[in-house]
Amino acid sequence: ETGVTQTPRHLVMGMTNKKSLKCEQHLGHNAMYWYKQSAKKPLELMFVYNFKEQTENNSVPSRFSPECPNSSHLFLHLHTLQPEDSALYLCASSQARGLYEQYFGPGTRLTVT
Residue 89 near residue 34, CB atoms below 8 Å: yes
1 lies in the binding site for another protein (CB under 8 A): no
3-state secondary structure of 67: strand
User: Which residue, 15 or 96, is less far from another protein as judged by CB?
Assistant: 96
Q: Does 23 bind another protein (CB under 8 A)?
A: no
Q: Which amino acid is at 24?
A: E
Least distance (Å) from another protein to the CB of residue 16?
27
Instruction: Tell whether residue 72 is a contact of another protein (CB under 8 A).
Output: no
Give the CA angle between residues 79, 89, 20 to the nearest 5°: 35
- Which of residues 75 and 103 has its CB atom nearest to another protein in the complex? 103
The DSSP string of 18-52 is EEEEEEEE-S--SEEEEEEE-TTS--EEEEEEETT
Using the rule CB under 8 A, is 30 a contact of another protein?
Answer: no
Chain contacts with another protein (rule: CB under 8 A): 4, 9, 31, 33, 40-43, 45, 48, 55-56, 58, 88, 90-92, 94, 97-99, 101-107, 109
